Each structure stands twice: as structure tokens, then as C-alpha cells.
């Protein structure tokens, strides 16, 4: 029987304390089927005058790095803050918690404007054929999708230094998590105070983030990059489809009016009336409006990049409430 059986693939990971240092995983991190690693190598082919029509007699690798792409995740209230350490803001903790029992902890991801504090990860990628430890993984791309016709969608992409064959960390326990149910999403669209006006007919929202990392190769005796550099500015892209029940929101696109948008999904009750919650806040005017049709309804799809709001001190943020004091 061949090995490399897909049901036996699994992923484990840890947040790196020192960039690029292989370390034991601290958590199992389930990923939906289909993801694996991709190693890139740039090979130099020597072409010489040898009195022959054969083009190459020698070659050697001059650069290499690893990608973990196509990682589809079933997002949960407990795991999303761990992922966002590499994409939104690093070093975020749940604080002291509130006064309830059990306590509610708030993980608030407000992007840092003037320094790169995003955390790197060490991923262990394994199946029944081989196990690899992939060091120095930084969060390159993130997409979060919400709609009324299916589960929340989440995809992440990492780039990393190198993949080293190595046994995976054993004896890690499965964790109890709660799925973020996209069918429960609410969308607030405002001009003045964010989170005030519940929109009547939102059909879907999608948020996309690209951190703009590129590999930095230096003369340190290695073929893999010393690190990855965030060499581009970023914005949180939004795309929302609304039922075209009113021309009011389309008129804000025409007028260039700043929108203050909050997506909220609530989960189970932590204590009394306090629930597990995901909030995504976004600021900016609409850049594009496209009409379409869904289920016999006229729709309008509005999209844009986020734009800095001076009063808020950000162009976007993400906040998760859960009952975890720490993120393993």
C-alpha cells in the first residue's frame, strides 16, 4: 500500500521567539484538506562553449525558500487570535479578563503603523511518508469570508525559510474550540459612529490582506533567505454584496462618503449576557460598485481598500472575545 495518504496529513505549529529557529510545536492546528508545502529553488545553469549542441553540463542551486499556500482553515473563536498574530498585529494578549465567571478575554488587533511586530511561526507539516519542520514562516496573505449560504471561509498563506526533515512534536492534545458561524454575521454601515446602524440586507462580506513580504538573501553561507522584508504598505480590502433594496448606499459611493463598517459574529455565552464575539472594523470610501443578480434579486457589490481614520487612529482592526486567558 502506498504512503502519503491524505487522511494522515496533519499540521502543528508554534510562534517563534527567535526568527528562523526550529522549535517544538505547541499546538495541533487543524487545516482543511488540500494544503501542503511548496519549496522554491532557483538553479543556475552553466552554459559553456564545448563544441556540442548540448546546452548544460552543470548546474547548482543559488536560492531557495518555502511556501505554505492554499491553507484553508475552519475558523474558530479560539484559533483566530493565534493566526492574527502573524497577519494583523503581533504580541497581542487577552489581558486580565473581565469580572465574570468564567472570565471573558479580549484580543484586540489594531495594526502597528511604524514598525513590523508581526510574529513568525514554525510549522510542522507531516503525513505517513515524511515529516518536515518549516522555520521562519511569516504571514503573507489572509482572506476572511462571510455569507448567509455557507460556513465562514478563511484562507492563509505563509512564506518560510526552509523545510527540514524532522520528527513532529508528540503528545500534543486536541483543543476544544467553537466554530465562527458565518450564517450569524451582522453588518453595520455608518457615517458617524461605527457599529450603530444595522444594514437591512447584507448578503456577504469578504476581507483580504496582503502583507507584501519579499525574501532577503544575504551572504551568510545559506541558500535560504536571512529573513523576509515587508517592503510595501498594506490596506485591508473589503468586498460586500448588498441586496439593492435602496439607492442610499450606492449614493455614498457616488459621493465618496467615508463608510464606517463593522462586521460582527457572536457565538455561545461565556457568562450572563457576554458572548464570544468577532468584530472586524473597517474605514474608508467605496472605490467600486458593480450591479448583479442573486436568487432573483438585484444586488450591488461594493469594494475598496481601507483608508486611515484620524479619530479612530487606524483604517481597520479586528477584535475577538473568548474565554482563553492565553493562546498555546
- Contacts of 295 by beta carbon, 8 Å cutoff, 6+ apart: none
Q: Which residue has the higher pLDDT, 127 or 193?
A: 193
| Cβ proximity of 207 and 267 under 8 Å | no
Mean local confidence (pLDDT), 146-162: 93
Asked if residue 1 has pLDDT above 60, the reply is: no
pLDDT tens digits for range 231-261: 999 999 999 999 999 999 999 999 999 999 9
| Cβ proximity of 23 and 15 under 8 Å | no
Rounded Cα–Cα distance for residues 140 and 157 (Å): 6
According to the model, what pLDDT value does residue 6 have? Answer: 67
Rounded Cα–Cα distance for residues 276 and 180 (Å): 9
Mean local confidence (pLDDT), 266-291: 98
Asked if residue 221 has pLDDT above 70, the reply is: yes
pLDDT tens digits for range 97-107: 999 999 999 99
Closest Cα to residue 70, out of 9, 8, 147, 150?
Answer: 9
Mean local confidence (pLDDT), 305-312: 98
**For 270, phi and psi rounded to 5 degrees?**
-85, -50
According to the model, what pLDDT value does residue 7 have? Answer: 74
Q: Helix, strand, or coil here: 284?
A: strand
Q: Residue ranges per domain, the chain? A: 6-322
**Confidence category of residue 287, pLDDT binned at 50, 70, 90:** very high
Cell matching residue 293:
443578480
Q: Looking at the chain, how many residues does it have? A: 328
Question: What does the DSSP 8-state code read for residue 85?
Answer: H
Q: CA dihedral in degrees (234, 235, 239, 240; nearest 10)?
A: 160
pLDDT tens digits for range 169-216: 999 999 999 999 999 999 999 999 999 999 999 999 999 999 999 999
Amino acid at each position: 500500500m502506498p504512503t502519503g495518504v491524505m487522511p494522515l496529513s496533519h499540521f502543528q505549529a508554534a510562534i517563534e521567539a527567535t526568527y528562523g529557529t526550529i522549535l517544538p510545536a505547541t499546538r495541533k492546528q487543524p487545516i482543511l484538506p488540500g494544503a501542503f508545502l511548496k519549496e522554491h529553488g532557483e538553479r543556475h545553469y552553466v552554459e559553456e562553449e564545448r563544441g556540442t549542441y548540448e546546452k548544460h553540463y552543470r548546474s547548482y542551486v543559488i536560492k531557495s525558500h518555502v511556501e505554505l499556500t492554499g491553507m484553508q482553515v475552519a475558523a474558530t473563536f479560539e484559533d483566530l487570535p493565534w493566526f492574527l498574530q502573524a497577519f494583523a498585529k503581533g504580541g497581542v494578549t487577552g489581558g486580565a479578563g473581565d469580572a465574570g465567571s468564567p472570565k471573558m478575554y479580549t484580543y484586540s488587533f489594531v495594526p502597528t503603523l511604524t514598525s513590523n511586530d508581526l510574529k513568525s511561526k514554525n510549522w510542522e507539516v507531516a503525513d505517513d511518508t515524511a515529516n518536515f519542520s518549516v522555520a521562519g514562516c511569516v504571514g503573507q496573505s489572509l482572506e476572511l469570508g462571510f455569507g448567509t449560504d455557507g460556513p465562514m471561509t478563511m484562507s492563509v498563506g505563509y512564506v518560510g525559510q526552509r523545510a527540514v526533515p524532522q520528527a513532529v512534536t508528540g503528545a500534543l492534545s486536541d483543543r476544544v474550540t467553537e466554530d465562527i458561524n458565518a450564517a450569524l454575521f451582522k453588518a453595520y454601515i455608518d457615517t458617524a459612529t461605527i457599529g450603530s446602524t444595522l444594514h437591512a440586507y447584507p448578503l456577504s462580506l469578504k476581507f483580504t490582506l496582503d502583507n507584501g513580504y519579499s525574501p532577503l538573501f544575504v551572504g551568510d553561507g545559506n541558500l535560504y533567505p536571512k529573513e523576509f522584508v515587508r517592503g510595501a504598505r498594506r490596506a485591508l480590502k473589503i468586498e460586500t454584496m448588498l441586496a439593492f433594496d435602496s439607492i442610499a448606499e450606492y449614493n455614498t459611493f457616488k459621493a465618496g462618503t467615508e463608510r464606517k463598517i463593522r462586521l460582527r459574529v457572536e457565538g455561545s455565552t461565556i457568562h450572563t449576557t457576554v458572548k464570544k464575539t468577532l468584530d472586524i472594523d473597517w474605514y474608508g470610501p467605496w472605490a467600486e460598485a458593480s450591479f448583479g443578480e442573486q436568487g432573483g434579486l438585484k444586488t450591488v457589490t461594493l469594494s475598496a481598500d481601507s483608508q486611515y481614520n484620524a479619530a479612530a487612529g487606524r483604517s481597520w482592526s479586528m477584535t475577538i472575545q473568548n474565554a482563553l486567558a492565553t493562546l498555546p
